[in-house]
Amino acid sequence: MMMARSLLFVALFYLWSTVCGLVLTPMFLAPRAWTMRTMAVWGRVVIVLLRLICNIRVEFRGLEHLPRGRALVAAKHQCMFDTMAPLSILPDAAYVMKRELLRIPFYGWFCVKAEMIELDRQGGAGALRRLIADSRKRLTEPRQLIIFPEGTRTPPGAKTEYQPGVAGLYRDLAMPCTPMATNSGAHWPAHGFLRRPGVIVYEFLEPIPAGLHRGAFMRELETRIETASRRLLAE
């Protein structure tokens, strides 16, 4: 039964995404805010499909820490859904995304229109400078900058070294950083099509204040995200 439900969900997910991409193509001519609202609706429908077909609920916790203006959010990354669900609750998210994703037809085009931030993972120090410069431009508006400090999807319970990009942003933007934990990979794996029933939780944690030294910040960030994510997986 889980396999049949998963296959049905995957089919409807890609059908819905394709319909959105085709029907809403004129949105490329509209203001960016319209594109953000469109992507939020896309994410909310995916959440509904998960609940109705796969018996997976999506829950947001720590809403007292939900950033609403200019903010830096460092998020645990376990599956593709992590790039969709927060769009439904954050007012104006700007994801740091690897360059390859922005080349995907329709999805990547909408991300470009939404002014997400491109990251060249092979670009070295120059890529970090561009990341910081582009982030400053996005934050001229009250946007929430989301970065995945692991740099890639990590299976639930696995440990991956946190990448330096988040520390560079934290230092140069001189603003607090809100960690976000999740257990999403336990229900929507990074690879494969099975969707396991249960509750996907995204939890906003208490912000780390600005001004910590790099090492102290990275230790605190990793401790908060990994501790909270392990707790969610154990529920």
- 121-141, pLDDT tens digit by residue? 666 667 788 988 999 999 999
> What letter does residue 183 receive in the DSSP assignment?
-
β-sheet bridge partners, residue 96: 117
Average pLDDT over residues 17-43: 85
Provide the residue type at 121 as one letter.
R
129 vs 46, more confident: 46
Report which of 171, 153, 163, 154 is spatially closest to residue 72, judged by C-alpha positions.
171
DSSP H or E run through 71: strand 71-75
Is the CB of residue 221 less than 8 Å from the CB of residue 166? yes
DSSP H or E run through 178: strand 177-182
Banded pLDDT at 71 (limits 50, 70, 90): very high
**Measured CA distances, 61 to 43, 76, 195 (Å):** 17, 14, 21
What distance lies between CA 87 and its chain's CA centroid? Answer: 8
pLDDT at position 116: 94
Lowest mean pLDDT among 79-88, 107-116, 222-231: 107-116
Burial of 161 from C-beta contacts in 10 A (0-12 / 13-18 / 19+): exposed
E strand map for 90-129:
93-98, 117-119
> What letter does residue 162 receive in the DSSP assignment?
P
Q: 144 pLDDT exceeds 70? A: yes
DSSP H or E run through 32: helix 32-54
Please tell me the class of the 2-234 domain. alpha beta
Q: 52 pLDDT exceeds 80? A: yes
* pTM, rounded to two decimals: 0.92
